[in-house]
Amino acid sequence: MAMTDAAVERVTETRRGVSLSNVTRASRFYWVRLLLENKSALVSVAFLVIVLVLAFIVPLASPYGATTVDPLNRLHPPTHAHWMGTDDLGRDVLTRIFYGARVSLLVGVSIMAITAVIGSVLGLIAAYYQRLDSVIMRVMDGLMAFPSILLAIAIMASLGPKTGNVIAALSVVYTPLIARLVRGTALATKQQPYVESARAIGARDHLILRRYIFPNSLSPLIVQCTFIVAAAILAEASLSFLGAGVPPEIPTWGNMLRIGQREIFKDQWLLVFPSVLLFLSILALNILGDGLRDALDPRSHER
């Protein structure tokens, strides 16, 4: 007697020693199981959680303030008193790195949330209302025609150096990416029979968009949001490094790299420690995004 698909999966899971064996391919949480089976994604999540926890614990537990100046201890190499050394003003690098992680994560998550909301709304409207499609998408194409970093610098030049202005500038830069993504999935979903049926029985447009069209855009949207966080953190660091981002008195990874660049030939720890943490954080977010893409893409289940 032929075994059913569920039985085959249970046998396979038993051989592999996989937990969550009751979560089958038909379950709505099957993607969670696939994500948990991805070791690279799990390591990335663990690293990001550690960075997030240390970002709140280290500045509070450290005996040194993130902005406390100590000229007598300036440019000291890593010691037992200062594990990552001190900068050109005698400030503890370890404390500043994890204080800067707060700012970088705040900027990245804020930009992700703003672009997800605004981009989703614009993408849904453009896909559902043909007369607005050309207007909205041509504006999005115009924004995407500019190199992202140059557009962000131009906006910051008019707004001034401030954390809120960085969030606003980068939100403008990355909103078109979300809008085009949601529009593409919405155009495909709009032609489905169940959407036509909902329209035929008189369902209102906002109900159709919210209940039938937008849920089909969630999977690619979630994946894209992880990449937006990584890109936003890197862009904020780039703006701060160039002097067009967060004010220099606020500890951020970009501002620390700007200080380290001036001392690169003598005091390399000022550049190495923040750049390594920035690199690993961006790498972890991208690996997590790849893991989510593989878990949420139905076609990857057959590979």
Calpha distance 114→169 (Å, rounded): 11
Degrees, nearest 5: CA angle 55-248-60: 25
**What pLDDT is recorded for position 2?**
43
**What pLDDT is recorded for position 302?**
52
Rg (the chain; Cα; Å): 24
Mean pLDDT of the chain: 84
- Is the CB of residue 39 less than 8 Å from the CB of residue 55? no
The residue whose two tokens read 């970093």 is 149
Nearest CA to 270 out of 88, 101, 22, 79 is that of 88
The residue whose two tokens read 């997800």 is 116
Q: pLDDT tens across 128-138, in order?
A: 998 899 899 99
Calpha distance 207→153 (Å, rounded): 39
The most distant pair of C-alpha atoms in the chain lies apart, rounded to whole Å, by 82
Lowest-confidence range among 5-14, 97-106, 200-209?
A: 5-14
Residue 35 above 50 pLDDT?
Answer: yes
Residue 112 above 80 pLDDT?
Answer: yes
Would the pTM of this model clear 0.85, i.e. be above it? no
Calpha distance 45→194 (Å, rounded): 37
**What pLDDT is recorded for position 12?**
45
**What pLDDT is recorded for position 89?**
84
Predicted confidence band of residue 195 (pLDDT cuts 50, 70, 90): confident
Per-domain residue ranges of the chain: 80-302
Instruction: Answer with the residue of higher pLDDT: 170 or 87.
Output: 170
Predicted confidence band of residue 50 (pLDDT cuts 50, 70, 90): very high
Q: pLDDT tens across 261-297, in order?
A: 887 778 788 888 999 999 999 999 999 988 888 887 7
**What pLDDT is recorded for position 11?**
40
Calpha distance 262→247 (Å, rounded): 18
**What pLDDT is recorded for position 116?**
94
Nearest CA to 92 out of 104, 111, 76 is that of 76
Predicted confidence band of residue 26 (pLDDT cuts 50, 70, 90): low
Cα separations (Å) of 227 from 39, 119, 178, 274? 19, 15, 11, 20
Residue 186 above 70 pLDDT?
Answer: yes
- Is the CB of residue 282 less than 8 Å from the CB of residue 296? no
Taking residue 1's Cβ as centre, other Cβ atoms within 10 Å add up to: 3
How would you class 17 by CB atoms within 10 Å of its CB: exposed for 0-12, middle for 13-18, buried for 19 or more? exposed
DSSP 180-249: HHHHHHHHHHHTSHHHHHHHHTT--HHHHIIIIIGGGGHHHHHHHHHHHHHHHHHHHHHHHHHTSSS-TT
**What pLDDT is recorded for position 294?**
81
Residue 15 above 50 pLDDT?
Answer: no
Length of the chain: 303
**What pLDDT is recorded for position 13?**
46
- Is the CB of residue 244 less than 8 Å from the CB of residue 153? yes
Helices marked H in the chain: 5-16, 30-36, 39-61, 93-128, 130-145, 148-159, 163-190, 193-200, 205-208, 218-242, 253-262, 269-296
Calpha distance 123→129 (Å, rounded): 10
**What pLDDT is recorded for position 44?**
93
Homologous superfamily assigned to 80-302: MetI-like (1.10.3720.10)
What the block records as the tokens of 131 is 């007369």
What the block records as the tokens of 213 is 């069209």
**What pLDDT is recorded for position 81?**
80
**What pLDDT is recorded for position 6?**
47
